Structure 1
């Protein structure tokens, strides 16, 4: 049912109005909500630990679903069917692990960041600094780069007259302003608005797409018939020397979530185990994700937020993957092009054009106004992801790195450093744009990088939470062994140039690279790191129990006072100035020139130094923020909902198995 819709895909004035209106609403909500928790480290980085479960769930979903998902999931759907949805369904189970196992430990430990948890758990600084640097590298070269690439791809399709770099720089500046001006409160509130916009706009496009094809059954039937004309012309001709005959044909298992162990894209052992390892790292120890749950009012709100995010994870399969498949049905010559020369003409890439599936569907099917809404959706996805990464990165840099060099830094200094860190990330991201444009198969590239670097971190966190015998030497050398093996595999694999489908002229990869899928390698790497960690831990001195209270899953309810392994590391500005009265601070603020007032407001420090809490009040506040108490009624309701959610996920997985 291939069609060729010829219409004006340029932005209508109605599209521009929708986009402008979206930005005005988001800016008002973001900056307005940020005023609640300004003027403190806890307010800026953890939203004062006052977030409702609805906001937590929406923010978890929005932080994960960036523009890379819209482009990458739809493109993978167009290339090989629904299989890519396993990444979303797997996350449902791991979100429950986050809410029921990891978050209670993090809250009881009273930490701001994940590296800070490891510092309290193991002592010393080398693990904390290593993971902080690793997190910043991963943020810059995978998450930020993927979203920028995807956002730029959509913008170039929608507005070919707009300079790519100008558009990306504008988006980066807006994202940075949100983060610098508001902190986590603004980020979470804008995430909530953007989640509503993303789901609403994508739902409209999904309905229009299914109507255009003729319904679900038509999609299943016609996807397997969506061949490009070049393939149709040469297929089955034994005297034809055409090399790309098999490249434009959808795989036979396109409607299966569970695929054979030797499947080149999604082998089932890798999905069941390797993907779970990477997912535990991402959902349970990655700062961007965990920071949202730590901002919850109570543990019950954090759990409810993970349940809400789990229900939302059913949506990408229908809102993104199936529309990507429909795009191939409607425009097979464009989306499913197999001849590299033809692909280069269509999307300036010889590797294929499946990545333009979602943008093409938006521009061809949606009327003016709604087209602008979907462009706003893509922008909101991009900005949501970037604001989340910027805020979490500034938190890691400020708390885990800067304070190592400036242990007595004042809160004012830390707040300013956090903002400067965001600006630095913007500069690095812009400089990385030319390199990102050259990356092929971006979604699998990111997953491969994760499988080469994340399993050792996952192993250390799992052992740290569940096995109290794990100590600092074991964790450190487990991380180092995993890093070495992972880097060897990464360098070895990418030393061979990518060979397009049908091209037999390239160098053949050795079997250890070509036949060991990156998800299978992730399983192997996890066990290597875990084994080294266990062996070294058993051969070295254990950590005394009094240093581990509320730092493991088994001791999370412990009430005895914990003795920090490195107590001197938690000394924060012992020589700080005494607190001033609120009236004195206001009077002092009123006498400042207007430009200093503006600077202090942007940095959120206009009221800092006013009326600090007494030691008793501070202790009571800390006890409240580290409490993991739940009422029996809420615990029962949350447990039942978690079981229902996972049962539905098993049903969907089994239905499409």
Structure 2
């Protein structure tokens, strides 16, 4: 049995760390650094596109692997397995509710869709805050917990070492190093997780025995007159009661779709990988590869977490606060140690080192993605507005400095993570997303599908949603969920409304306003505004043309009326050349003709957007296959 101390920051592992384990970890780190150096040498890192977008020359397979690795950090390895141990397979819905990635930057798209700067600045600031206080915190806690359980290393030492190695090749190599090392780490994660899953299923006699064994996994020390020590009767079902279920089917169907749309269609970490693709076809193929990989976590992470409860109920399923504190150092429960407990107890020497490398890979891949994407957001969306005259050298330097600052903030955040209720961390992250994501998703969808939506309605709708979300989050912090045996005395807003249901409650804001459809304005290039315009609304229609190049484009689809530097291109540094439309000219002045150079550039843009018919069909067929697999799995486990 392991003994823990919530303040000491170290545990004594039940299995000793062997020389073979050390050799495997050293080989992994050496290979990881070598791949990072090789990938950084392939791309010109001294340009904005080279550092932040990997030269826009990435093939589909590293993009798909990076999408998967970025979404499967150590937080999800620990969190998914722990939630599976505590409540069964319903958490799989967070993995299977995946949307195709749209290769656009939400901040810049919404700015070009509505005009002004304040929406873009707000979304960039929100993304930075979420990165530091939710994504990085989850990965740091989970990675440190795994190292503690498996190796007995000091929390601070192990976390700082991983942060230093991760930060070094992120700062040095940019997005290219991140994506290629993600590809390597995906291979290691998948192979290691499959080996552990096979070993775990063999311990219980195979999959047919899982449900029966799980329902009997009860700790020996319980809290009298309670049922919280009993496994859920619906543990093997994805769809659960909308009132009494821990993950109600209504929230997992509708509320989670809102959160998934925000993450997979607008989150900077995800979008940046698609923007690095060499063509639209490679971006689509990368998304499809990631979608195939996302079908695996149920079988290689969540079910092994359930098996961990079966094999070690007194530790993984503990409910008595004193017992839990003795086992894992936190009184709210020890389900988060389910996956590392399996690694320590089941894996032989050498393979144990491989699984430790897997978790380090998950941690590092997620952190590198967050560091690179966050530095991109700050540099391109905030610093560039504060210093419009900044050159490429300054922007590259700022991007690297921001990464260093994020690393420092992460280290400072460690004591707060250690004192947090570790058993609730994964739920906390999902809850925060449900509070802050719905307004962004609503604005994004309305911007795409409702031409009458305008900037003032979008901005104040975001502000209204932010106030509602922060109010709910504040109540959660003041009134945490009660422990086993303690009556639930929280306000009805917390006790009776699940956070996934709360995500569904954000309606289109009544503050939406619209111009008549005939006056719809479409931006055709991005001008750099002065500092006074950052948080101000767009100018009135008559004065707008003198400050930002706009054009009346009522008869042209917005999807065709964007230049390479306009609505869909990631950075305003690219030369602005309007794209010709199918039904009319998209020139800055109605009726004017573009020079031949612009026409040539536009033709090149259209050519780059074209897909070879054969590979377009391959992508479409695989998308249909994925939908069929998803529907079958939902029906089978419903």
**Separation (CA, whole Å) in 2 of partners of 1:13 and 1:550:** 70
Say which of 323, 326, 335 aligns to 2:316.
Answer: 335
Counterpart in the other structure of 1:469? 452
1:194 and 1:384 in contact (8 A); partners too: yes
1:546 and 1:562 in contact (8 A); partners too: no
Q: How many residues align?
A: 576
2:112 and 2:523 in contact (8 A); partners too: no
Q: Report the TM-score, using the length of structure 2 for normalisation.
A: 0.86
Deviation at 1:338, TM superposition (A): 1.6
Note closer, same or farther for the CA distance 1:21–1:72 as it changes in structure 2 (3 Å cut). same
| DSSP-derived class of the 2:513 partner | helix
Note closer, same or farther for the CA distance 1:559–1:146 as it changes in structure 2 (3 Å cut). closer
Counterpart in the other structure of 1:164? 155
Deviation at 1:158, TM superposition (A): 1.5
Say which of 439, 445, 448 aligns to 1:456.
Answer: 439
1:409 and 1:572 in contact (8 A); partners too: no
**Separation (CA, whole Å) in 1 of partners of 2:114 and 2:431:** 29
Counterpart in the other structure of 2:383? 402
2:565 and 2:574 in contact (8 A); partners too: no
Counterpart in the other structure of 1:265? 246
**1:360-418 Cα shifts (integer Å, max 9, x gaps):** 00000001100000000000000000000000000000000000111111100100000
**Separation (CA, whole Å) in 1 of partners of 2:384 and 2:266:** 21
Say which of 29, 32, 42 aligns to 2:38.
Answer: 32
**Separation (CA, whole Å) in 2 of partners of 1:563 and 1:299:** 17
**Separation (CA, whole Å) in 1 of partners of 2:254 and 2:288:** 22
Counterpart in the other structure of 2:82? 75
Matches within 5 A, 1:508-547: 508-525=489-506, 527=507, 530-532=508-510, 535-537=512-514, 543-545=520-522, 547=524
Counterpart in the other structure of 2:544? none
Note closer, same or farther for the CA distance 1:10–1:537 as it changes in structure 2 (3 Å cut). farther
Note closer, same or farther for the CA distance 1:34–1:618 as it changes in structure 2 (3 Å cut). farther
Matches within 5 A, 1:121-520: 121-160=113-152, 162-231=153-222, 243=224, 245-440=226-421, 441-504=424-487, 508-520=489-501
Say which of 55, 58, 61 aligns to 2:65.
Answer: 58
Q: Report the TM-score, using the length of structure 1 for normalisation.
A: 0.83
Counterpart in the other structure of 1:592? none
| DSSP-derived class of the 1:204 partner | helix
Unmatched 5+ stretches in structure 1: 1-5, 107-112, 232-241, 575-614
| DSSP-derived class of the 1:532 partner | coil
**Separation (CA, whole Å) in 1 of partners of 2:375 and 2:553:** 24
Deviation at 1:224, TM superposition (A): 0.3
Unmatched 5+ stretches in structure 2: 1-11, 525-549, 577-595
Note closer, same or farther for the CA distance 1:361–1:570 as it changes in structure 2 (3 Å cut). closer
Counterpart in the other structure of 2:625? 644
Deviation at 1:8, TM superposition (A): 5.2
| DSSP-derived class of the 1:253 partner | coil
**Separation (CA, whole Å) in 2 of partners of 1:324 and 1:186:** 32
**Separation (CA, whole Å) in 2 of partners of 1:36 and 1:551:** 41
Counterpart in the other structure of 1:237? none
More moved, 493-502 vs 412-421: 493-502
Note closer, same or farther for the CA distance 1:244–1:316 as it changes in structure 2 (3 Å cut). farther
Counterpart in the other structure of 1:583? none
2:106 and 2:444 in contact (8 A); partners too: no
Counterpart in the other structure of 1:46? 53
Q: Which has the higher contact order (CA 8 A, sep 6+)?
A: 1
Deviation at 1:619, TM superposition (A): 7.2
2:13 and 2:149 in contact (8 A); partners too: no
Counterpart in the other structure of 2:18? 12
1:175 and 1:387 in contact (8 A); partners too: yes
**1:483-502 Cα shifts (integer Å, max 9, x gaps):** 11111111123211431011
**Separation (CA, whole Å) in 2 of partners of 1:520 and 1:490:** 14
